[in-house]
A and B are shown apart, each in its own frame.
Chain A
Amino acid sequence: MSPSFIDYILAPSLVCLSFMILLAKDLFVSIVLFIVFGLLVALAWVELKAPDIALVEAAVGAGVLGALLLGVLGRLEHNKKAAVRTTDQVSVIAITLLILGTAILGRVLYALPQEAYGIGPGIRSLMDRAGGANPVTAVILNFRGYDTLLEIGVLFLVSVGAKALVSTEKQPQERVMPKADRIILFFLNLLIPVMILVAFYLLWVGADAPGGAFQAGAILAASGILLYLSDTGFSLNFDSRWTLLGVSVGLLAFIALSWVMVLAGGKFLEYPASYVKPFIFLIELSATVSIGFILLTLFAASAKEKV
Chain B
Amino acid sequence: MTAAILYSLSGALIFFIGLYGTVVYPHFLKKAIAMNLMGTGLFLILTALSTRSPDLIPDPVPHGMVLTGIVVSVSATAFVLVLGVHLFNKTGNPDFPLIRYTEKGEE
Q: Which residues of A contact B (CB under 8 A)?
A: 1-3, 7-8, 11-12, 14-15, 18-19, 21-22, 27, 30-31, 34, 37, 41, 44-45, 47-50, 52-53, 56-57, 60-61, 64-65, 68-69, 72-73, 75-76, 80, 82-87, 90-91, 94-95, 97-98, 101-102, 105-106, 109-110, 112-121, 123-124, 135-136, 138-140, 144, 147-148, 151, 154-155, 158-159, 161-162, 165-166, 169, 214, 291, 294-295, 298-299, 301-302
Q: How far is the CA of A227 from the CA of B26 in the complex (A)?
A: 33
Contact, CB under 8 Å: B81 / A69? yes
Residue of B nearest to A49 (CB): B58
Chain B interface bracket (under 10, 10 to 19, 20 to 34, 35 or more): 35 or more
Q: Find residues 33-84 in chain B having any chain A CB closer than 8 Å to their own CB.
A: 33-34, 36-37, 40-41, 43-45, 47-68, 70-72, 74-79, 81-84
Instruction: List 17 A–B pairs whose Cβ atoms lie within 8 Å, in order of A's numbering.
Output: A3-B6, A7-B7, A12-B10, A34-B36, A41-B40, A52-B67, A56-B70, A61-B36, A84-B102, A85-B25, A86-B23, A118-B61, A120-B61, A123-B60, A136-B64, A161-B82, A302-B85
CB distance from A224 to the nearest CB of B (A): 14
Contact, CB under 8 Å: B60 / A138? yes
- B54: which A residues are within 8 A, CB to CB? 115, 117
- B36: which A residues are within 8 A, CB to CB? 34, 61, 65
Q: Is the interface of A mostly helix, strand, loop or mixed?
A: helix
B23, B47, B67: the one within 8 Å of A214 (CB): B67
Q: How far is the CA of A131 from the CA of B21 in the complex (A)?
A: 43
Q: How far is the CA of A294 from the CA of B54 in the complex (A)?
A: 40
Given A116-B53, A117-B53, A94:B20 Cβ within 8 A: yes
CB distance from A154 to the nearest CB of B (A): 6
B2, B68, B107: the one within 8 Å of A2 (CB): B2
Q: How far is the CA of A61 from the CA of B39 in the complex (A)?
A: 11
B32, B47, B52, B76: the one within 8 Å of A45 (CB): B47
Q: How far is the CA of A91 from the CA of B26 in the complex (A)?
A: 12
Interface string of B4-16 (1 = CB under 8 A from A): 1111111011111
Residue of B nearest to A73 (CB): B29
